[in-house]
Structure 1
Amino acid sequence: DITERKKMEEAIRRAAEEWKETFDSISDAISISSRDCRLLRVNQAFADMFHTERGKIVDKHCYEIMHGINEPVSGCPHLETLKTGKPAAADFFEPHVGIHLELTTSPIFDERGEITGTVHIARDITERKRQEEQLMMADRLASIGELAAGTAHELNNPLTSVIGFSRLLMEKDVSDDIREDLGIICSEAQRATEVIKQLLQFARKRTPAEQLNQINSVVEHVLRLRAYEQRAHNIEVRTDLAPALPEIMIDYFQMQQVLLNIIINAEQSMVEANERGTLTIATRRRNSTVVISVTDDGLGISQEHLGQIFDPFFTTKKAGKGTGLGLSICRRIVTEHSGQIYARSRPGEGATFYVELPINGARP
């Protein structure tokens, strides 16, 4: 019967269309791969995740698109599923698209029970990874803070004695050579005391005394504090401060400390690179946050070091030029304000540091 056949064809067409609509409406990136790793079908989320078009993907190897390489990735869940006949999963960081992925694969069986391929589900877990790293770092900071506090107190007293007695000896009738040596002892002990002061500051847990403040006011105050040093080192300052930003709940002095640290680091980088530089500070509103950016045209930071610059005691400065605690303290302060701090840079192209702070409790 022709009518019945047409009804069946229409039902099949409608079912296929519904399947396609459902396939494309899923927010996770889904793909179907053959045994030899060739992509047979992908949904729109897959194409969007890997910044391409579906027509350009089909029949390419899954590892080319998903991992940006020319052979199966180590720990490939697709190959594991082909081997075991069971679902498999693995996490990967994909530098060619800049995201962390959670990949799961499930087998596809034919009518004889043989595996013909797999279904991939790729999920962007970048934010989850970031939160996990923050939790791990918080634990590390707590442990280091306790150790630092104990060590700092033990060292502070003898160093105070070294400074005091070296100054007393310098006041006595001693030769110039000895006086010079005593001066070195005193200045080095003072430098050690400054390191200890930063250790104590790093270890100290203090709840921010938050009040409604204008972030532009903090920026302007910090720039006034640094104006003399910037002129002395031929640093041009440019500002792009968004008008009418909402007031946000911050500890004014702690946020001043954060910006001072970032700006001083930027100044030192520019002076070392070019003996001059241009410092650009901008503020803007982004959704429910206020963002401060500090950009320099100094030495820049390698990709390897970008992941370490907020770690306690990590520094790229020459010996005696930094403790490696400044940015750790900055991150702790910003985190206590429920914000984020991060950097973008390439060697030789300067760096930009971003501080994002929530607008909770802000006045419009």
Structure 2
Amino acid sequence: MLNALLEIQNCFKSYKNIHSAFESSCKHMGEFLDAHRIVIFDRRFDEERDEAYISFYHEWADVGRPLRYSTNQVPRRLYLDDIYKAYNQIAVESFFVLYPDRLNKKVDPTLREFYRDSDIKSVLILPIIVHNEIWGSFTVHDLDIERDFEADGTVQRAVYLAGEISSFIERVRQYNKRVLTQLDDHSYRMESLGRMAASIAHEINNPIFLIGGFATRIEQIFEEGDVEKKSEEVLRCLDLIQKSCKKTSNIIEGLRLMSRPTKRDELEVCDLKDIINRTVDISKERLQFDKIEIIKEFNDDQEFLVECKPGQLSQVLTNLVNNSFDSLIEKDIKRWIKIECTKTDSCVKLSFTDAGQRPSDDIIKNMIEPFYTTKPPGKGTGLGLSLCKEIIKRFNGNFDVDRTSEFMKFDIELPLISFDEDE
């Protein structure tokens, strides 16, 4: 039992990601508490009901014992009010023990049905309190007997463990806050540009080659003395030269935007579609080479004005493009990335979607947490999406995963900047 506790403490010292720490430590928690199943829930908020609820976060089951929650067998959200009414206790103040076979008709029917259909005989539930607020709950299951958790010392050990979990979550929160606050996202921009260096060079060389070719053709026309006869061809060549110059200028402006040091990146009122266009121009060649179609859906005649630091917002889009590229390049499907931009009276919404399938709810819950990554070792730091969220948060916006989309989709909302006509 002591060895199990030491393993738990080592996990909490080694990991900076909460979900990863639970994955490694829950089996030791089960041994420490002599449990058949350990389930951890976190507290979330239902905006429609204006009410908090407990959501499944992580589950472990002993060898030969079934998983109950991670297999999506939970009938619906378990709201805190339901739980408090059912057990007539307040989780913040204490623990409570539940014996499903003894539940009476006064208990919430959904809870009663859930426990009746399960194989749980005894449940010990403790709150996880972080910074004087309920973070979630820590639940211990015995699947064989109605167990007296107090008499056998399990309550005492579980209370100690819940305290260790609370301290660990608080340390991780503080560490992540410090990392994201101090992180020089300029280095991330340089890393992103480094990954795209070859395609950027090719992207610039193409219009330069065209400019040289059209200029040579105009020179030939003048040397042949056929300027009047071939005036339409000359004008067409000049038009294509202008377009190539504009394309090169956009790419260079995108590079300037990305490479500008963070300290010189000031808050500005910008048109979001301009940042999108410049960022996409940098990546276009690489995406086209690997047959990834880029789709932009927004009205070019509309302004999508937001207050931001352009270089940092460009970094958010570049991170998303790079993530999509890494994901799609491995898939034998029709590859595409879609960027949509709309606005309401109060906000601008940018939706970034790619052809990849939406991941499991378990991954979605954790993918924006710092240091969480599904990429192979050495391929990702687990900071890209958390940095995106932190940057958008600095601009009073929201960054989240769309859990209803069939595909991998991120939604970004930023406050709309509007000017009165008489200003």
TM-score, reference length from structure 1:
0.47
TM-score w.r.t. length of structure 2? 0.41
